[in-house]
Amino acid sequence: MASRTRLGHPRGYGLVSNRKRPVHRLADLLPGLASQLGLDEELEAARGLASWTRIVEEQVPAAAGASRLLEVRPPMLIVSADDAPTAQELRLRSAELLEAFAAAPGGQRLRELQVLVRRPSTEDSSEPR
């Protein structure tokens, strides 16, 4: 029978090993893990979504929170806008938005920005219908 410490754990339990293992950032490990699990496309979609949100916040602050990435369908980037003025602003700045998306993590070079006017979903709203 293995000897036990005063707290009832086997000897050596919780002791720090003298072996040094390299430390890796989680962001560096995710792509490999996603690939092993067959989640490459989902990871790229999540990166693209986060990049679009950040790009809009930086390039068109008035549209922050009022636009969402819907789909990347080369050669087109399809996004939504909550209202017509926001959609118009995104269309007017499409060249710079597409350029920023091409340089962003999870982004790619696309030729066209399609903006659909869609009101945000009210399913998350606490108001009765």
Q: Which of 73, 75, 70 is nearest to 90 (CA)?
A: 70
37-117 fold:
GMP Synthetase; Chain A, domain 3 (3.30.300)
DSSP-derived letter for residue 93 is T
- At 107 the three-state DSSP class reads coil
Render pLDDT for 33-61 as a digit per residue (tens, 0 to 9): 767 787 777 777 778 889 999 999 999 99
Q: Residue 90, Cβ neighbours under 10 Å: how many?
A: 22
Residue ranges of the domains in the chain?
Answer: 37-117
Render pLDDT for 11-26 as a digit per residue (tens, 0 to 9): 655 556 667 888 888 7
